[in-house]
Amino acid sequence: MNIDKQTAEAAILGGAILGGGGGGWIEEGKALAHLALEKGFSEIFSIRDIPDEDLLLTVSGVGAPSAGAALLKPVDYIRAVELFLEQTGINIGGLISSEIGALGIVNGWLQSAALNIPVVDAPCNGRAHPLGLMGSMGLTKKEDYISLQTAVGGRAETGNRVEAFFKGSLPEVSKKVREAAVKAGGMVAVARNPVSTSFVKVNGAPGAIRMALEIGKLLLKNMRKMTDPEKTTEEIVSSLGGKFTAKGIVKKLELRTEEGFDIGKILLRERKKSFALTFWNEYMTLEREGERIATFPDLIMTFDAQTSMPLISAQVKENREVIMMAASRQKLMLGAGMRDDRLLRMIEDTIGQDILSFRGFP
């Protein structure tokens, strides 16, 4: 898959939609992509092009969307991979993103240009997720698995610079990485958990970047034609096999940042109907008049009602008019981390909403 400025823009916008409220800011995704292109990045490889025995390294950003990846310098993304190679000596055959989002979809591009390691269209998950464990492709079920991760971020001049290498159980190491993000000001660049190409084929989300690219092309086509934003959203939802869209005014926003996460609730009003969105970085639930419409990992997303631009949860403000959409998880490319009930139960504990009971989609 050849990448230029046009395809990069489409991929980022499609990634923002599949981010489901998280996955990074569009502006930051564009900035990182443009820098990677300037440094010579031009191609994303199909997983079919990579030998089964080659090891693929996951790259990601970890932190709260409201903090913004602007806290990270481009060199931090590169340094996370360099530090991993220095500490482990492992030969890496390709880089894969942990998730799909506006920033998540381009993670790996700059590292690839700097270190000459291919980027592979096989993210750990075909949408964004709040926990690194959810992007670990089911490794959480391997009780004896030893996780290797680096975390880089912060500023030396402000005294919060972090360059760390962790080795240990996956839950404990992931917790340490989240703590590093908090100490670094809210975000760290991460490289972690090399696994074989054959493992990723079964447990990752091969093809999810191309899927995001096609969704982004659809959005751009409608924006250039100045299609009504509601019709644009309906067309995007239809392409994902969904049916639900609604427009409403944000009446109340509750947000707290806790342990490197954005957690909160958004209340909206559409004429006589009320809607509620809960989020844990990404949108977790959508309800209409108290009736559940969609539940993570179903895709829930918001758009600006005037421009059709995707809005992550950190961009939604009171009195803003937004369009909501929902599409079933059945149409998404989800990694094995989305099939771990223990991780879904952690969402329940965090947001106080039932998740596990809603396994289908109305």
Strand pairing of 273-280 and 282-288? antiparallel
Q: Are 214 and 11 in contact (CB under 8 A)?
A: no
Residue whose entry in the numeric block shows the structure tokens 């402000």: 158
Tokens of 152: 């880089």
Q: Are 300 and 18 spatial neighbours (Cβ–Cβ below 8 Å)?
A: no
Residue 158: what pLDDT? 87
Phi, psi of 178, deg, nearest 5: -65, -40
Please give the pLDDT value at position 25. 92
Task: Please report, to the nearest 10 degrees, the dihedral formed by the alpha carbons of residues 84, 134, 14, 35 taken in order.
Answer: -20
Q: Which residue has the tokens 């039932």?
A: 354
Residues 100 and 212: beta-carbon distance below 8 Å: yes
Q: Given this model, what pLDDT does residue 362 score?
A: 37
Q: CA 272, 274, 241, 340: dihedral to nearest 10 degrees? A: -170
Which amino acid, one-letter code, is at 284? M
- Peptide bond preceding 362 in cis form (omega within 30 of 0): no
**What's the per-residue H, E or C state across 124-139?**
CCCCCCCCHHHHCCCH
Contact 98, 191 (CB under 8 A): no
Q: What per-residue confidence (pLDDT) applies to 242? A: 86
pLDDT at 68: 56
pLDDT of residue 67: 58
| CA 231 – CA 213 distance, rounded (Å) | 20
Omega before 297 within 30 of 0, i.e. cis: yes
Contact predicate 306/97, CB 8 Å: no
Positive or negative CA dihedral for 313, 301, 343, 338?
negative
Which spans in 225-315 are helix H?
229-239
Neighbouring-strand partners of residue 204: none
Q: Are 58 and 124 in contact (CB under 8 A)?
A: yes
Structural domains of the chain in order of their starting residue, each with its CATH number: 5-203 (3.40.1610.10), 229-351 (2.40.390)
pLDDT in tens, the chain (362 residues): 999 999 999 999 999 999 999 998 999 999 999 999 999 999 999 999 999 999 999 999 887 666 555 578 999 999 999 999 999 999 999 999 999 999 999 999 999 999 999 999 999 999 999 988 899 999 998 989 999 999 999 998 889 999 999 999 999 999 999 999 989 988 899 999 999 999 999 999 999 999 999 999 999 999 999 999 999 999 999 999 988 999 999 999 999 888 778 899 999 999 889 999 999 999 999 999 999 999 999 999 999 999 999 999 999 999 999 999 999 999 999 999 998 888 989 999 999 999 988 865 33
Q: Radius of gyration (Cα) for the chain, nearest Å?
A: 19
pTM of the prediction? 0.93
Residues contacting residue 149 through CB under 8 Å, at least 6 positions apart? 84, 165, 166, 167, 173, 174, 176, 177, 190, 191, 192, 193
| CA–CA distance, 188 with 60 (Å, rounded to integer) | 9
Instruction: Quote the CA–CA distance of 44 and 10 in Å, as a whole number.
Output: 14
**Amino acid identity for residue 266 in this structure:** I
